[in-house]
Amino acid sequence: MPATVVRFAPSPTGHIHIGNARPALFNYLYARQNDGRFILRFDDTDVERSRAEYVDSIKIDLAWLGIAPDLVVRQSERFTLYAAAAEKLKSLGRLYPCYETAEELDRRRKRQIARGLPPVYDRAALALSAADRMALEAQGRRPHWRFQLVPRIVRWDDMVRGLSHIDTASLSDPVLIRENGTWLYTLPSVVDDVDLGVTHIIRGEDHVTNTAVQIELFEALAGPGAAPRFGHHNLLTTASGEGLSKRSGALSIGSLREMGVESLAVCALAVLTGSSASVRPVQSLQELMSLFDLAHTSRQAARFDAHDLTGLSAKTLHGMEFEAARERLVSLGASGSRMEAFWLAVRGNLLEFSDAANWLQVVNGDIETSTADPVFFAQARAALPAEPWDAKTFSLWTTTIRDATGRKGKDLFHPLRLALTGRDKGPEMAALLPLIGRAKVLARLS
């Protein structure tokens, strides 16, 4: 078993968004930093809301981000493990049946608050006799099952927040099994973490309050010291501080992919926002891993502006090496020995990768051009040197045109760019000219 085992455990009840990508990437990068194992676990015990299409979309989204799980498991296939754990807890006297309805519990909480008491479950069900329980069940009531906490200060050394503690005397005994026999999150999660050998639980700070309960549950099921290490990182929020919801579809990974945002830009923003490293473009998850430091994640909210993604995505393209772009260029129709020269010429002018198709058309296809000054373009044709051409050809050609016409600056270069590319601006003409070729240049100047 590797020394480091982590897991990302989404519920397949919606599409994951950039906020979900943060813990997924934190876990994946931490595992790779430590030669560990990354488990993708689908928490799909909610059979009514879990959907197969969401399982598929989450797998696709993680693959697009570059996350390759070492193991994939589904909680819906592991119910026998949870049932066995529940029986063990019952035998230890730590799991007990309760018969209060939601309305009764709500009234009880309100009374406690009105009396200035904390709204903690009073364990009234522990006083029920076997006859009491039989009578309640004869009325049609079915029990929900609570885990009995041991009142104490539970301490842990959080990988992000440092020394942390929670007094479990301030908490209600958590419900682990609903009245209909279905599982809540807590028990299956702990059982799986024990069974799969999870050593580190890296998750959002919204789970801090669950930690003491889970540590007690780990110890009840697997003995003292059985709990993994915990690390609770700050949450990714919008610039205005709003949280992200996978039910709203806002900033979903799928929608970002369809918008043409680069996956590495999503990864860099998700990981580096609210960290000791400034947000910057990266060219691989390996590079991002070198910048990732869980221990130096800020305690402040990780706020980001969604508009920053566009610029970060473009900068990612501008630094992309040809080998990383090769297959995608082929999918756009690029071919031949000049593909690398083409990519190096155009990458600095791309906002989205698909923009490269437009420049392929400029280089290889037919375009509408402007040759409104026939005398000037006749002089330009006459000055055009013979092939082969290289990066110096454009400068030599325009110098000859300048000497023949007296034109310089914008009056010289802008008409040529319009005639040869049909555009006001774009990549350096010195790089484009050899790609367009002499025959097409002559035709476009005519």
Cα 256 from Cα 315, distance rounded (Å): 16
Do 334 and 195 fall within a single domain?
no
Report the distance separating Cα 309 and Cα 269, nearest Å. Answer: 7
Residue 32 clears pLDDT 80, i.e. is over it? yes
Same domain, 95 and 243: no
Residue 380 and residue 425 in one domain: yes
Residue with tokens 């490269």: 356
* pLDDT of the residue at 250: 66
Domain count of the fold of the chain: 5
Is residue 12 assigned to a domain?
yes
28 shares its domain with 63: yes
Given pLDDT bands bounded at 50, 70 and 90, which one contains residue 47?
confident
Residue 67 has pLDDT above 70, yes or no: yes
Answer yes or no: is 417 within a domain.
Answer: yes
76 within some domain: no
Percent of all residues in the chain with a pLDDT value above 90, rounded to a whole number: 89
- C-alpha 6/C-alpha 33 separation (Å) is 12
Q: Quick one: 139 and 11 in the same domain? A: no
Residue 121 lies in a domain: yes
Q: Burial, 114: exposed, middle or buried (Cβ in 10 Å; 0-12, 13-18, 19+)?
A: exposed
Residue 75 lies in a domain: no
The answer to whether residue 244 scores a pLDDT higher than 90 is: no
Give residue for tokens 């437009």. 358
Can you give the residue range of the structural domain that contains 251? 238-318
Query: Over 60: is that where the pLDDT of 259 sits?
Result: yes
Q: 222 and 242: one domain?
A: no
| One domain for residues 254 and 225 | no
- What digits encode the pLDDT tens for the residues 268-295? 999 999 887 789 999 999 999 999 999 9
- Tell me the pLDDT tens digit for each residue of 329-383: 999 999 999 999 999 999 999 999 999 999 999 999 998 877 678 899 999 999 9
Same domain, 282 and 406: no
- Give me the CATH number covering residue 132: 3.90.800.10
99 and 120 share one domain: yes
pLDDT, the chain, mean: 94
Residue 283: CB partners within 8 Å, gap ≥ 6?
264, 316, 319, 320, 321, 324
Q: Would you state the pLDDT for residue 437?
A: 96
**Claim to verify: residue 63 and residue 208 sit in the same structural domain:** yes
Choosing from 177, 200, 227, the residue where a domain stops is 177
Domain identity same for 46 and 56: yes
Considering the entire predicted model, what is its pTM? Answer: 0.92
pLDDT higher than threshold 80 for residue 246: no
Give the rounded distance of the alpha carbon of 101 from its chain centre.
39
Question: Which CATH number covers residue 196?
Answer: 3.40.50.620
Question: Residue 443: is its pLDDT beyond 70?
Answer: yes
Burial of 222 (0-12, 13-18, 19+ CB in 10 A): middle
Predicted local distance difference test score (pLDDT) of residue 1: 56
Contact 277, 306 (CB under 8 A): no
User: Tens of pLDDT along 393-425?
Assistant: 999 999 999 999 999 999 999 999 999 999 999
Cα separations in angstroms, 197 against 44, 73, 88, 146, 200: 20, 13, 19, 25, 9
Distance (Å, whole) CA 384 – CA 442 = 8
Query: What are 91-146's pLDDT values in tens digits?
Result: 999 999 999 999 999 999 999 999 988 899 999 999 999 999 999 999 999 999 99
Give 33's pLDDT tier (boundaries 50, 70, 90). very high
Do 228 and 243 sit in the same domain of this protein?
Answer: no
In a domain? residue 384:
yes
